[in-house]
Amino acid sequence: MLTMISRIEEVAKSVDQRQVECFLTEINRAERIFVLGAGRSGFVAKSFGMRLMHLGMIAYVVGETVTPAFHKGDTLVAFSGSGKTKSVLEACQTTQQIGGTICLITGTRSSPMADLATCVVHLQTDEESVHTGSDHFDLRQLKGEHRSMSQPSTPLGTLFETSAMIFADSIVSALIELKNCSIDDIIHRYSNMQ
């Protein structure tokens, strides 16, 4: 667990604060936010969407039952390690056509999604994969085959999803301050039916 955390710490330290500011500004002023991710990134997206609802924001998960149509002026928050997952990329393309804002949290510097996004937060979890072209960097991470000169072999879990989850939670903390949310109001929105 400690090896993973140390690796996540490196990721956190390398985040470009201007990207964080851009993301926070967009989320703070968004009227309706649609979150999306595929696979495990989808669970991170849902975790973030649930918190936005707790803060009193209007948030939807793409693909859930009562999610309405995405309209001009809406904001899509996409989580994608590779920046090219097909279903998420298509949603980004739709967003652009409709005239929405795309905020991307990704593990890859350059990607089709990054090209479309208004705002990109790059979590540097992928240096090696850029060189090898592997689409399955996280597998090597899982297996602990992640190596670099400055750092011995480390048995990692999937770095992108975990880093993205912590990043998203830090945004939630910042939004609570920015919007001056009351704890009582937040509690009042917690699901009381499960």
Sites for its own copies among residues 32-91 (CB under 8 A) = 34, 36, 38-40, 43-44, 46-47, 49-53, 59-70, 85-87, 90-91
Give the Cα-Cα-Cα angle 39, 78, 103 (nearest 5 degrees). 165
Q: Write each residue from 99 to 128 as x if it is in contact with its own copies (CB under 8 A), else as -, in one continuous string.
A: ------------------------------
* Of 25, 94, 132, 151, the one binding its own copies by CB under 8 A: 94
Residue 158 Cβ vs its own copies, minimum distance, rounded to whole Å: 6
Binding mask 148-187 for its own copies (x = CB under 8 A): -------xxxx--xx--xxxxxx-xxx-xx---x-x--xx
What is 40-74 written as a DSSP string? Answer: HHHHHHHHHHHHHHHTT-EEEETTSTT-----TT-
Q: Are 109 and 83 in contact (CB under 8 A)?
A: no
Q: Count other Cβ atoms within 10 Å, centred on residue 127.
A: 13
CB atoms within 10 A of CB 137: 25
Residue 84 or 140: the one with the smaller Cβ distance to its own copies is 140
